[in-house]
Amino acid sequence: MRLSDAPILERGHIFNPSYVLVTAPSLLFDPTVKPLEGMADGSVLFVNSSKEVQIVQPKKVHTIYRDITELALKHIGRDILSAAMGAVACKLSGLISLQSLVDSVEEELAELGLAADLIEKNVQLAKECYSSVESISLRGLDYKPSHKVVEVQYMGERGIPDLLSMGNTILRKTGSWRVFTPIVDKNLCTACGICYIYCPEACISLDEQGYPVINYNNCKGCLVCTVECPRRAIKTERETIWS
Amino acid sequence: MSEKSDKNGEGDHMVLKMLTGSQAVAWAARLARAEYIPAYPITPQTEIIEILSEWVRKGEMEAIFVQMESEHSLLTAAGTAAATGARVFTATSSQGLLYGFEMLYSIAGWRAPLVLVNVARALAAPITLEPDHNDVLAARDSGFLQFHAESVQEALDFVLLAYRVAEDNRVLLPAIVNIDGFHLSFTRERVDLPEQSTVDEFLPEYKPVNPIRASEPVAKGIPVLIPPLYSFFKYQMHMASRNALNVFREAAKDFEKMFFRSYATVEEYMLDDADTVIVMSNSFAAVGKQAVNAMREEGRKVGLLRIRLFRPFPTDDIVKSLRGKKCVVVVDQNISIGKGGITCPEIAEALYHLEDRPKVILPVIAGLGGKSISLEEFRHAVRVAERLASLKAGPDGPLLLFREDEAMLVDSLLKIASGG
Amino acid sequence: MSITKYRTLKDVPKEEFLVAGTPLCAGCGALLVIRLFHKALGGNVVWVNAAGCVTLMATFPYTPLRSSWFYTAMPSAPAGAQGIRDALDILIKKGKLDPAENLKVVVITGDGAASDIGLQSASGAIHRGLDFFYLCVDNEAYGNTGFQASSLSPIGSGTATTKPTHLYPAGNVLPKKDLFEIWRSHRPPYVATISPSHVVDMLRKVEKALSFKGPKLFLALCPCPTGWGIEPSESVQLARLAVETGIWPLKEAVYGEVTHTHIPSKRRPVEDYLKVQRRFAHLFKPIKNEAVIAEIQKQVDEYWSKVER
Ligand SMILES: Cc1ncc(C[n+]2csc(CCOP(=O)(O)OP(=O)(O)O)c2C)c(N)n1
Ligand code: SF4
Ligand code: SF4
Ligand code: SF4
Ligand SMILES: [Mg+2]
């Protein structure tokens, strides 16, 4: 999002953001996303998380943590975050009034064909998010990224887009997608292995006794395992492990 | 192919034969020991694949010939086979090339070297069978190297050179060898058919990069959604293509040693003292040379520059040939509708920064859909260019070469069509 | 089926060829099918892919697979498989490649690629008797581009291009193409439908297919939480419901001879399947569209009335 009184000519990549809002803490560490890049001293980082996250911060960045997902669950019953994050952005910037926010949430969701009650829930969510943070004015943002133009060398075979490292999506911590965490109750579990079979993500392995072990780094929290377990031995908890 | 079954391999010396362009490129594929030939028929390419399928069926070529259900599929199969490690040959034309267009960019992006002969044929609509170069030039930005042949001999030699350059690991890009439909494909010319053993020496075995093997899994062709990474890979292709210029020169040197024919990226015809230079490519360049001969007899200092290697574009060689000349007449046998010829702006850009750049660069459109170009048409183009030079003026658009007799023919045919 | 190593869920092979961390949606039915299918296939596989949701499994520089993968283009993955198969064959024949390096070539596409833009390429490959597997992960629409209708979208479903309106209260009015029959009409050695809910059935079918040379074609119903409007957790349940209502018959055809591998003893009404999905919600709200529901039920009943028991 770009805000300016003058015509906005910047397009595409935002080089030095004043505010960065991150929907899931894992994105902070994703080498393909790099959300912190270009942040100047005095800029603002908002992370949707109930707890603080250890980030190596080279700059003095004002960081705020809020569990917006919790609010989304409360109002909508699902982790739909667009209105919520929009509301946070509006408030942080201090440039957009609550009324403008509500108007645009109503208008845009109506365009998408959402039912009136669902729009109202989103409005309530937006309102609560709006009031859950304070506006933060920006202090001296004088960060100038170096952006030196370099020469690209011919890399021979390495310059071919073939991938030789197999099975490396394991590095991508999709565990942060979870809203609810599946937890195996060993007292109820019979080690039948059914949850292992039906996990679409290959996130469940079986230990030597045949009991399921969940890989929480990557488990997306789809809860297929919970539903498929014949003993109802997999409980769910609101996600906390990740953050 | 064993020495014995090689009907033409009796002696140590070269074998002269009268071959059509189609036969010549089929021979080239055979001599290159192409081992995979996916195909789909289209006039005027059919003779090539008919010959190859017969050789494979007779066991004279150790290869798999597979008739696909479309050019899109044939190019896909060609590309994946090359990426898997087979030496691939295929041929298509015109509508077929365009039907498979999506895959041209893909194969090049996979960095899968193979040789595709395009038998040039003008594009529909209106549909026709006669050649021009809108088909092959549509592929110019894809990453395929492009060799444009003037003669049947060149058609054969370029296929061999194309494999050598394409498979070089400084390049690793696929190549198109263009031969004009009818004028080369179905025209018999005297051809020096190389020896298998010499070709084997010239063309080392293809060593694929990251081929698909059980022991070393690889993911190929996958999305690159990160803009700098995409930009990086694309530019790597460009640099690989630029490398092909010197790799070609090296290969051409070896080729000359082994086969006694020498090829530069461009051919200069009577250029030394020429004031006006006609620039052409492909088979009609022969007609251009004939016109140059005639004009020379009339005392005009005219020469011709023929582009053999169109991608990578041999900017340096073109500059060497054209700097200091008075007029350049670029005869484009293609048309970018709403602009003009495709080659002319490329030539102009190559010359722009020179102090001694030509006074006039005249864009000419000629020979669309196989339309003949007569001596008088060439003469006219040269005259126009020279007049502009004397007036210190530039052209105000491309010059279409079209004769009065043709206009009359068109008129009479339009009358029939309208019933008038 | 005669001799099989798959009797119960305990027999599901433990080796994983697919690791976690893909960008596919939570609860994606297609991902589950690929994972289980791969277990039955075993190793030494190259997947040949056409554009679709599963294309995003491998995006530079990541892949979840321990096997090879080749993304080709949307219309021509089967042709890509042809090139790989033929290249391996000729290299092995010429002694340039150790036969131990050989691979099973498996095409993986969505329903849109399989039934629309890539049907020609598939038909060609099957007709040529190409020795390959084809796994179509059928989520009944163009998922990757935002769930527009494909020719495998079922009648009555709402998609991004067949939204129910007062002029089109049924949503999609076109019938689902019978891809199983289209494939079968080529008389390949093996064609089967599979479901992620019926795992032993799936594994046995792959096991059987492995014994044939030539085209081995699988059509898998793959619940898509995002497009179908279900909870991710309900994914397998929905697949099971599709089988139990008779909407998704589990069958196979060996050289064209059809056998049903699972005949639901008492079929549940199709309504049970439809009413839990947002893409069919317009058939129930604001007023129930009895006619369309009855038509869907009728088609299912007619289908099963022709199945010999
Ligand atoms: C030639 C071409 N046309 C269109 C597209 C755009 N496209 C990419 S993925 C996709 C949808 C694929 O649908 P389907 O095959 O059903 O797979 P799904 O995404 O549902 O798994 C489309 C239409 C393309 N990639 N190539
Ligand atoms: S399905 Fe349930 S009972 Fe079976 S192993 Fe998993 S948690 Fe245990
Ligand atoms: S919640 Fe989903 S991803 Fe996580 S373990 Fe269960 S089935 Fe696997
Ligand atoms: S849209 Fe559907 S098919 Fe595609 S990844 Fe998501 S769940 Fe899977
Ligand atoms: Mg689909």
> Using the beta-carbon criterion (under 8 Å), do C71 and B220 form an inter-chain contact?
yes
Å between B229 CA and nearest CA of chain A: 9
Around ligand 1, the residues with Cβ closer than 6 Å are C 51-54, 74-75, 109-113, 137, 139, 142-145, 150
Among C66, C72, C120, pick the best mutation site for testing chain B contact (most B Cβ within 10 A). C72
pLDDT tens for chain A, residues 1 to 243: 787 788 888 888 888 888 999 988 888 888 888 888 888 888 899 999 888 887 766 668 888 999 999 999 999 988 889 999 999 999 998 889 999 999 999 999 998 888 899 999 999 999 999 999 999 887 666 667 778 999 999 999 999 999 999 999 999 999 989 999 999 999 999 999 999 999 999 999 999 999 999 999 999 999 999 999 999 999 999 876 554
The confidence band for B160, taking pLDDT boundaries of 50, 70 and 90, is: very high
CATH 3.40.50.970 for the B2-259 domain, yes or no: yes
CA atoms of B91 and A72, how far apart (whole Å): 59
- Express each pLDDT in B288-316 by its tens digit: 999 999 999 999 999 999 999 999 999 99
DSSP helix/strand/coil, C106? strand
B53 touches chain C (CB under 8 A): no
Give the mean model confidence (pLDDT) for residues B252-260. Answer: 98
- Is the pLDDT score of B7 beyond 60? no
User: For A159, which of B210, B218, B233 is closest by C-beta distance?
Assistant: B233
Query: What is the DSSP code string of B34-79?
Result: --EEEE---TTTHHHHHHHHHHHHTTSS-SEEEE-S-HHHHHHHHH
B240 touches chain A (CB under 8 A): yes
Candidates C6, C50, C3; CA nearest to C30 is C50
List the domain boundaries for chain C: 9-305
Give the ligand whose atoms come closest to the C-alpha of residue C28.
4
Alpha-carbon distances, residue B411 vs B129, B408, B414, B416 (angstroms): 21, 5, 5, 9
- Express each pLDDT in B173-203 by its tens digit: 999 999 999 999 999 999 999 999 999 999 9
> Using the beta-carbon criterion (under 8 Å), do B217 and C81 form an inter-chain contact?
no
Q: Are residues A218 and A127 in the same domain?
A: no
- Express each pLDDT in B109-138 by its tens digit: 999 999 999 999 999 999 999 999 999 999
Residue A196: give its domain's CATH number.
3.30.70.20
Candidates A115, A35, A117, A14; CA nearest to A75 is A117
Give residues 98 to 117 of B whose Cβ lies within 8 Å of A.
109, 111
Query: In the prediction, which pLDDT does A60 show?
Result: 81
CA atoms of A76 and C296, how far apart (whole Å): 33
Residue owning the nearest CA to atom 4 of ligand 4: C53
Residue A99: give its domain's CATH number.
3.40.920.10
C91 touches chain B (CB under 8 A): yes
- CB-CB neighbours of B372 under 10 Å: 13
Residue owning the nearest CA to atom 4 of ligand 3: A219
| C-alpha C264 to ligand 2 mean position (Å) | 26
- CB-CB neighbours of B417 under 10 Å: 8
- Is the pLDDT score of B11 beyond 60? no
> Using the beta-carbon criterion (under 8 Å), do C22 and A201 form an inter-chain contact?
yes
Å between B218 CA and nearest CA of chain C: 5
Query: In the prediction, which pLDDT does A194 show?
Result: 98
CA atoms of A55 and A58, how far apart (whole Å): 9
Candidates B265, B344, B350, B279; CA nearest to B308 is B265
Helices (H) and strands (E) in chain A, counts: 6, 7
- Express each pLDDT in C235-281 by its tens digit: 999 999 999 999 999 999 999 999 999 999 999 999 999 999 999 99
Determine the atom of ligand 3 nearest the C-alpha atom of A202.
Answer: 8
Give the ligand whose atoms come closest to the C-alpha of residue C33.
4
The ranges of chain B annotated as CATH 3.40.50.970 are: 2-259
- Assess if residue A113 is contained within a domain: yes
> Using the beta-carbon criterion (under 8 Å), do C19 and A170 form an inter-chain contact?
yes
Give the mean model confidence (pLDDT) for residues B371-399. Answer: 97
Determine the atom of ligand 4 nearest the C-alpha atom of C139.
Answer: 3
Query: In the prediction, which pLDDT does B1 show?
Result: 35
- Among B9-13, C43-47, C116-120, which stretch is predicted with the lowest mean pLDDT? B9-13
Which residue segment(s) compose the domain that A185 sits in?
Answer: 174-238
Query: In the prediction, which pLDDT does A143 show?
Result: 66
| C-alpha A215 to ligand 2 mean position (Å) | 15
B125 touches chain A (CB under 8 A): no
The confidence band for B6, taking pLDDT boundaries of 50, 70 and 90, is: very low
Can you name the CATH fold of B266-407? Rossmann fold (3.40.50)
> Using the beta-carbon criterion (under 8 Å), do C82 and B225 form an inter-chain contact?
no
Å between B225 CA and nearest CA of chain C: 7
Q: Are residues A119 and A198 in the same domain?
A: no
C60 and A161 Cβ atoms separated by less than 8 Å: yes
| C-alpha A242 to ligand 3 mean position (Å) | 14
- Assess if residue A11 is contained within a domain: no
Q: Which pTM was predicted?
A: 0.95
Residue from C28, C74, C139, C228 whose mutation best tests the ligand 1 pocket (most atoms within 8 A of CB): C74
Tally of CA atoms within 13 A in the half-sphere of B326 that contains its CB? 20
Those residues whose beta carbon sits under 5 angstroms from the ion ligand 5 are C 110-112, 139, 143
Å between C243 CA and nearest CA of chain B: 34
Q: Are residues A33 and A120 in the same domain?
A: yes
B108 touches chain C (CB under 8 A): no
**Paired strand residues for A234:** A184
- Assess if residue A154 is contained within a domain: no
- Assess if residue A165 is contained within a domain: no
Which chains contact A through at least 3 pairs of Cβ atoms less than 8 Å apart?
B, C
B52 and B90 Cβ atoms separated by less than 8 Å: no
**Among A99, A131, A163, where does a domain finish?**
A131
Can you name the CATH fold of C9-305? Rossmann fold (3.40.50)
CA atoms of C285 and C155, how far apart (whole Å): 17
Please count the structural domains in chain A.
Answer: 2
A201 touches chain C (CB under 8 A): yes
Å between A105 CA and nearest CA of chain C: 21
Which chains contact B through at least 3 pairs of Cβ atoms less than 8 Å apart?
A, C
Candidates B136, B175, B211, B183; CA nearest to B28 is B175
CA atoms of C275 and C152, how far apart (whole Å): 20
Query: Mean pLDDT score of chain C, rounded to an integer?
Result: 97
The ipTM value here is 0.97
Query: Mean pLDDT score of chain B, rounded to an integer?
Result: 96
Query: B302-307 and B276-281: which strand pairing?
Result: parallel
